Each structure stands twice: as C-alpha cells, then as structure tokens.
Amino acid sequence: MEVIIYPTKEQANQAAADFVASAVVRNPRIVLGLATGGTPLGLYENLIEKYKKGEVSFAKASSFNLDEYYGLPADDKNSYAYYMRENLFDKIDIELENTHIPNGMAENPKIACEEYERAIKASGGVELQILGIGSDGHIGFNEPTSSLSSRTRMKTLTRETIEDNARFFDGNPEAVPTHCLTMGIGTIMESETVVLLAYGKSKADAVAGMIEGPITSMIPASILQMHRDVKVFLDEEAASKLKLADYYKWVYSRKPHPDW
Ligand code: F6R
C-alpha cells in the first residue's frame, strides 16, 4: 500500500484527481470502478474541472459502481444512480450506456448480481477502482465479517452504516434502506489499481485498522494489504491514528519518480 497523507482533504482530492485523470488520459478506454457517499465528491469536482478545461475526456471510458441501495429506483434522489448523474455523469462526457450500477429494483437480486459480475468480466475487468471506507471498515457495502472472497450480492447494512448514512436521508435512519447490492470483496480485489480516499476523524480507527492492523473480516478494508497496487489518500485527521504516519510521509516526500 502506498499511504499518501496531505494536510487537508482539498489537497488530497487534487492529488487523487491528478492521478485518476492521468490514468484516463493514458488509457482513454479505461474501465473505472466508482464509489458514492460523501468522500469522493471532492475528487469528482476536480475531475469535472479537468474535463471542462479540456485536460481529460471520458468519452471512451466505462464504469461500474460499487453498490446501490435495494428498493430505491434510479430516479429516487437518494439512489446511487441518481447521485452519479448529479455529481459526475451529467457533468462529463461519459456515455451513460457505458456506465453500470447494480439495479436496486431488480426482481431477482441474485440473478442481477450474477449478471453484474458477468458484465464486469466482459468489460475486461475494472482497471482503476475508487473506494471510500466506512467508519466500521467496510468497502463497498461489505460490512464486518463479510467473506473476504465475496462476489456481488445482496447485503444487510449494519446499524452503524445506517446511522452514518442517515445524513443523506434528512437525518432519519428509518428512511435508510436496510439492504443493498454490492460488489464483493473478491470482486474489488480483482481490480488492477485501487485508489482509496478517507477524510476526517471519524475514519481514523478504520484507516489504522486497514493499514496497520491484522487482515481480518472484522475490518473488511484490511484485505487491501493483499492487493498489489493500492494508493490511499488521507488528510491529517484520517491519518491521526497511524503509528507509522511519519514514515509514510518520509517515503512519499522522497519518491524518486511519481510513477515508481
Ligand atoms: C459507497 C461505498 C461506501 C462508502 C463508505 C464511506 O459507494 O461503497 O463504502 O465509500 O460508506 O461513505 P462516506 O464517503 O459517505 O463516508
């Protein structure tokens, strides 16, 4: 894992956007894995800016989102399909038909999840996966004790995640769907490169567990220690519980070349 710590999330978002945009420029047909929630909003804003300035085009790119609430139609303002159009897809030149999000209204979620897995494979696989992390260490909606080799499937959200996400539902936890369809941890682990973003104090424990703790399904993100190419972008607050924070900063400041 490459751990990159910036004083602020704005600086981390800019650096993450530079990395993502240059990957798209190098490989215009890139298959992106995308996340929702509060964390990637700044990254998406930076990518939209770069698109508007003509620095990057997504016209040939395709994408697969990590997850969707079960029971929310794509036009519900809290669905992740809606979020993606609002916060990224409608503001860049990606073709909507090349974007994929698990179908939260699938009659048979099991079949829908199997089809999602097949679509990812048929695309050649996710090349650059963007992730956030839950305060309980989840990635996608793979909550603690999820199988570390799981595939796309239905999951039940923990109370902690429902409470965390109530802010998007007018503060009402009762309004948060209890189920979701999410890429599995095994699915995420097959992506070529992972960019994980985490900001704020509320993520500090999960981040420390992910980077410096043992690999355990109690902190699903800790499996990323087994991934060959992960970049973790943090602000100081999210990094505040890392024992080796100074070492990570020292390594990054002495990087001989940005690509190495
Ligand atoms: C979102 C997702 C989740 C979030 C996580 C953090 O697609 O898969 O794992 O990344 O719940 O959410 P925020 O960013 O709202 O703190």
pLDDT digits (tens, 9 = 90+) for 3-36: 999 999 999 999 999 999 999 999 999 999 999 9
Tell me, using a 6 A CB cutoff, whether residue 39 lines ligand 1: yes
Catalytic residue status for 18: no
Inter-residue contact 29 to 55 (CB < 8 Å): no
Question: Which of these, 146, 154, 145, lies nearest to 177 by C-alpha position?
Answer: 154
Tens of pLDDT, residue by residue over 156-201, are: 999 999 999 999 999 999 999 999 999 999 999 999 999 999 999 9
Residue carrying the six token digits 């503001």: 91
pLDDT at 44 > cutoff 90: yes
Query: How confident is the model over 201-244, as pLDDT tens digits?
Result: 999 999 999 999 999 999 999 999 999 999 999 999 999 999 99
Q: Which of 245, 140, 134 is nearest to 185 (CA)?
A: 140
Q: Which amino acid, residue 93?
A: D
Place of tokens 């043992």: 214
Report the nearest-CA residue for atom 4 of ligand 1. 132
Q: Express each pLDDT in 58-108 by its tens digit.
A: 999 999 999 999 999 999 999 999 999 999 999 999 999 999 999 999 999
SS3 category, 47: helix
pLDDT at 74: 96
Atom of ligand 1 nearest to the CA of 140: 8
Tell me if residue 115 is catalytic.
no
Residue 90: active-site member: no
Query: Catalytic: which of 68, 127, 136, 237?
Result: 136
Let me know if 97 is a catalytic residue. no
Please name the residue whose Cα sits nearest to atom 12 of ligand 1.
37
